[in-house]
A and B are shown apart, each in its own frame.
Chain A
Amino acid sequence: MKKYLKIFVTACISVFMLAGCSIREKTAGLFLYNMDDPYVDVFAGHILDFSRGRFSVESMDCNNSQIIQNEYIEKQIKKRNDIMIINPVDRLGAYSVIRKLKSVDIPVIFFNREPLSEDLELWEKAYYVGAKAEQSGRLQAEMIMELFGGDPDRLNSYDRNGNSKIEAVILKGEQGHQDAEIRTAEVVKTFRENRFKLDILITEVANWKREEAYEKMKHIIEVFGNRIELVISNNDAMALGAISIMRQSGMFRDTNSNGIIDKDDDSWIPVVGIDGLDEAVEMIERGYLYGSVLNDSLSQAMAITELAEAVLGNKSFDRMSYPLTDKKYIWIDYKPLK
């Protein structure tokens, strides 16, 4: 009897020790600002794919509420997660989150919404992985300048009225939203820097939404009609909304009926977006959308996963595919699509 007990206890201890050595996997909490955003949904999928076999990830949908996000973060702190990967709902809320995580010594990687740099500085184990919003605006402008011939003094036939100015409509994301402001400002700035004359017919706020862009664009076409030479959108969704109403208004005619809109057709107006949504890529192939800028969630997800591994001590910081800037940031380039 005693002997069996001994064997049993020994077995228990060895199982426990085995569990202790090998089964204790590092854990990460993944906080998504809103899973209804298809971009975030895809992004989260990439992170889950990359992290498989490296560390376990528990992902949480914060339903666009910082309160819910705070609550989830608190719960994950209590569970002693090894690392937090946070897509903040509110950039400024990150301030308290960073201070809290510092106080319990849990590293954090932010993505998709950049906290203030002074807030990131508060905690040495706080990082940000993302793209520079400025770059997306710049890439949009470069794409357009190339279309118009690249020479500000001698615009090609896409300057339909030949006045050496590009008459443009800007579809802006949410007013006051960091990305909307920066993208808009940057695209305009790039034209100016390259001495291209941009005549902004109207800047319309469509809050990132396809339907809203459709309605706003309907009004814009009524007012400006064929004066429009260019549509710049802060994201693909609004660009696609604009294209819908533009097609209904007689633009984008498939003259040779090959299913692809010819850029040389009189009815073709360049529309540019940002994000590189699947539907946007399809519309580029079919000739409706001139171009988009890919906010490269696949590369960002990879960078996040590698950075997390490095922070958890499973990988050297030097061996990451993307360099760490200022010991805090990994910047992933936007990629032009056209």
Chain B
Amino acid sequence: MIVLFLTSAVYYSVFSNRINSLIESQSREINKQIVLNYESYINSVIETSNYIQAASLNLDVHRSYEKLQDIYLYNSEIKRDVVSIFLFDEKGDKILGNSPDNIRFHNIAGEKWFLNALQEKTTFHFSAPHLQSLFSIIEEEIISVSRSVKYNESGVEKDGILLIELNFENLTDLADKTNLGIGGHILILNDDDSIIYISGRRKGDELPESIDIAVNNYLGGFKTEIDSTQMYVNINTLSQTRWRIVTINNVNELALARDEMLVILFVIFILSFAVTAFVSFVISRRISEPLFQLKNSMLKIEGGDFHTTVEVSGQKEVVRLSRAFNRMLEEIRALMDRVVNEQREKRKTELKALQNQINPHFLYNTLDSIVWLAENKRTDDVITTVIALARFFRISISKGATYIPVKDEISHIRNYLTIQKIRYVDRFEYSFEIDPGVYDYKVMKLILQPIVENAIYHGVGDETEKITIRAYPENRFLVFEVENSGYGITEERIAEIYQILKGEHSKSSVGMRNVYLRLKLFYGDDADILIRSELDEMTLIKLLIPVDEEVSHISGRKGIS
């Protein structure tokens, strides 16, 4: 934009300078031509004067009067613009020249041209034009050119005054022929700044504005405005005189051309501005819009959403960039998944180790019970217990499988309860309410045992307790319930247990929390443990295990070995 502006400005200034210098040089040239015309005119007058002087230098005005008189007359006749030539002595008496005209020359010594020539002897003196009745008949405007000269009278050199009268019309003809445009004109100023001549002016016309300009400036060329027209003024001196020649040149047309140029340039500038603005808008849309989209996607990712992809269309570069960005996202996602999986696997391995651990106290207590039964010769009970223990361990091991059918899990609990019932000497009763439809579901092994263990420890008191274990499908879940009658627990305690499960509490209940973690880890977020209690009535622990309809018969979720 700036470049465009600068280009226009430079172009205009160059053009404008060209026009200005053209205007200047043209009017200067005109002025020069006019001055040269006048100079050559004046020079021819001076030549005439010099010729007369040189010719008469060695002639005596008395002895060679006739010869000298011939020279004077001949020269005034041969030159068209010379009206007459005279020689006067210092008192103003005529010595040589045209036929005597006493009326005209009655007071020569008082004339300005005469006095000037006497005073300043080294130069010619040009008078302002004045009306002169020549030979008493015709009136003509003439200029008096005078100069002090020496003449020879009876062998004595004397000072005299030479007068050459010029027809002013010839001077004005020179000026009137020059074309200076409408309103253009020429002024000639005398040394006292009085007007000698104004071209193209008829009698009675007002004095033009240009006079002030001409009077107040002594030399040189400059532009100005006269009558709201652009004019170029040139002031020059005229050799051999103290006159100034002022030419006033109409340069309006050229100035108009320059102004037109300015308008055209302005229009071009505006148009280019508009085009550039439009183009840059389009370009910026093509480049910056996709970048903006990209930025928004990045912000989203910064906010934690790694599942967005960036779909950007437009510039090839930006598309490439967004593709690279997407690839990076995928990479990050894969990495994150891998990290999560690795962590999960690690946990699973840990928890598996836990699940595989057999509470040594349980074994010790059970063996203790068996010893006690044997001592009391309760052979049947010993057999029952030992069988139950054997089965309990077989299922616990399950050849290393993680998932076992629900019926195995239930049978595992049965064995467990059989052992515990003998140990706790029938201090509790138990019953199973299992929906037969769930027997074939596969479930993570040893998930119920810690719950039942809890129910026995916390529930068994003075009264005979009743433990009920249920299993049934509900919507997309396989539900296990372990209910025990007893004091029940308070709401506060339940809230505390939930916190313990989630790992948000300082206390820990290893058994329940293990179950909870394993559920979450192997079955995902949908799996859960719910606790319900009625004081002095019962406490119910409910396990919710999600089942995939399609694979429900094979496994709870996916088989991980």
Q: Which residues of A contact B (CB under 8 A)?
A: 66-67, 70-71, 73-74, 77, 89-93, 95-97, 99-100, 103, 116, 119, 174-176, 178, 181-182, 185, 188, 200, 202-203, 205
Contacts and interface: CB of A to CB of B under 8 A. Distances in A.
B46 interface: yes
B160 interface: no
Contact of A67 (B120, B121, B236): B236
Contacts of A202: 58
> Of residues A66, A92, A95, A100, which shows the largest number of chain B Cβ atoms within 10 Å of its Cβ?
A92
A70 B36 CA distance: 13
Contacts of B241: 92
A176 B244 contact: no
Contacts of B553: none
B122 A92 contact: no
Contacts of A178: 122-123
Given A77-B220, A93-B239, A175 B122 contact: no
Given A66-B237, A96-B237, 12 more contacts: A66-B236, A66-B239, A67-B236, A93-B239, A96-B219, A96-B244, A97-B218, A100-B218, A176-B46, A182-B122, A200-B58, A205-B50
B28 interface: yes
B241 to A, nearest CB: 6
B188 to A, nearest CB: 13
Nearest to A74: B220
Given A67-B35, A95-B242, A175-B53, A90 B237 contact: yes
A95 B239 CA distance: 11
B223 interface: no
B150 interface: yes
B237 A93 contact: yes
A74 B57 contact: no
A181 B220 CA distance: 32
A63 to B, nearest CB: 13
A67 B32 contact: yes
A-B interface, 10 closest residue pairs, ranked by CB to CB distance from nearest:
A175-B50, A100-B218, A74-B220, A100-B219, A93-B237, A99-B218, A90-B239, A95-B242, A178-B122, A96-B237
20 contacts: A66-B236, A66-B239, A74-B220, A74-B221, A90-B237, A90-B239, A91-B122, A92-B123, A92-B241, A92-B242, A95-B242, A96-B242, A97-B237, A99-B219, A175-B50, A176-B53, A176-B124, A178-B123, A203-B57, A205-B54
A289 to B, nearest CB: 24
B270 to A, nearest CB: 35
> Of residues A67, A73, A89, A188, which shows the largest number of chain B Cβ atoms within 10 Å of its Cβ?
A67
Contacts of B221: 74
A176 B219 contact: no
A131 to B, nearest CB: 15
Contacts of B120: 116
Nearest to A175: B50
A202 B49 CA distance: 19
B147 interface: yes
**Chain B, interface residues (CB within 8 Å), range:** 35 or more
A119 B32 CA distance: 24
B25 to A, nearest CB: 11
B53 A70 contact: no
B544 to A, nearest CB: 67
B342 interface: no
Nearest to A71: B28
Contacts of B122: 91, 178, 181-182
Interface string B121-139: 1111000000000000000
B123 A91 contact: yes
Contacts of B548: none
Contacts of A182: 122
B157 A188 contact: yes
Contacts of B235: 96
B433 interface: no
Nearest to B157: A188
Nearest to B123: A92
Interface string B61-99: 000000000000000000000000000000000000000
A200 B155 CA distance: 10
Contacts of B32: 67
Contacts of A188: 157
Contacts of A203: 57-58
B211 to A, nearest CB: 16
A95 B57 CA distance: 31
A97 B57 CA distance: 34
A67 B36 contact: yes
A134 B53 CA distance: 21
B54 A175 contact: yes
A169 to B, nearest CB: 11
B169 interface: no
Given A90-B237, A96-B237, A103 B46 contact: no
A103 B222 CA distance: 15
B178 to A, nearest CB: 16
A205 B56 CA distance: 12
